[in-house]
Amino acid sequence: MTKIYDTKPLTPEQVKVIKDSVPILEHMQVKLAEKFYKRLFKGHSEFREFFNTTNQKLLRQPRILIFTLIKFAKSIDNLDALQKDFDRIASKHVGLQVSPEQYPIFGKYLVHTIADLFPNDMVDEEFVEAWQSAYDILSGILIGLEAQQYKNKAWFGFKEFKVTKINRECVESKSFYIAPVDGAPIPKPKRGQYLCMRWQLPGEPYEISRVYSISEYPKGNEYRFTVRYIPGGKISTHIHSNLQVGDSVYVAPPCGDCFYESSSRDLVMLAGGNGITALISMIEAGLEEGRNVKLLFSNRSTDSRSFGSVLRDFKIKYGDKFQVTEFLSRGRAIEPIDQYYRRSLTIEDLDFITPKHDVYLIGPRAYMKMVDDYLHERNIKVKLDYFGPQEINI
């Protein structure tokens, strides 16, 4: 990967500039981030490919940017404390195939936006230089971490695959099997990882990125991903209405840091709707290793439940080692797998979970935040992925 930044430590004066910026950043909050993204997209529309428009409209992306910027500024004299944050950001960037050459463009707009929106009496040449130097340090850290991850990937960018098979999983979801056009062996993913895919829709001025969990551990030279139809969703509508066997799709290598880890501990899997796509191969691995696995599976009804037959086969094969509790918010239950309730999951349903369990959680954002917040209060660690900006309150 290209080396972009030769960085040097900040001077004490520059550290003070960054730390003195924190109260202003906290005051401006999302306003600064919104302004930044508007300027970036106006000057470089190709950057839109990396961002989900829904996350922009709902301010999730601006919120996580300003949250991260404030955290970075507060810790500018102790960046080692942010190692987990840097690792998470780098993992997301590699999933999206961010390149080092894009960092200077991003930084130019970010530093200019900060300088334009801060009070005039704070902004001078030293202020701009301090923020540019701080950004260079941040970029150097992330580029280095990403370079390490890219070394372990089978390819860079988006490789052409062909759709080989399509299965309907339920009334809302379809699974698509894809194989590389060049016939090269696919790298085996870690269970729970995802594929980032680029789509060029007719009439759209730029490509659109989406990530999809690998919903089956590869048994041949194919990946499987499963897509739920979302009314009004550009990509899910295109996939469900237009994608056919033989069509090409463009795919980045498997990525993601929410993946299965072997252990003898009992497993609790919490799946909300299509979140089961990320968990199904983890459930399989846990059962194959002889672990006790309990799945709490939330859907509107059994009509909208994916992989019912697979889960039922697991239940038949593994018996009491595999326990399923379904929560059906609209009540309709045809051929439930195991125990079920005609209601939504509540936090009281989680009281059996202890710090001795391994807990994995994937589902809609509000569902995950409710569960994660409650378990966090009880000192229970949860492995999860929002597959986009982290859900935060600022």
For the annotated catalytic residues, the residue numbers are 103, 146
Spatial contact of 101 and 2, defined as CB atoms under 8 Å apart: yes
What letter does residue 246 receive in the DSSP assignment? T
Among all chains, which residue has been given the structure tokens 């902004």?
A: 123
As a whole number of Å, the end-to-end CA separation of the chain is 35
Spatial contact of 295 and 327, defined as CB atoms under 8 Å apart: no
C-alpha–C-alpha distance, residues 327 and 324, integer Å? 10
Spatial contact of 71 and 84, defined as CB atoms under 8 Å apart: no
- Token pair belonging to 32: 């600064």
C-alpha–C-alpha distance, residues 61 and 64, integer Å? 5
Measure Cα distances from 236 to 35, 39, 347 in Å: 29, 29, 31
C-alpha–C-alpha distance, residues 81 and 329, integer Å? 42
C-alpha–C-alpha distance, residues 20 and 10, integer Å? 14
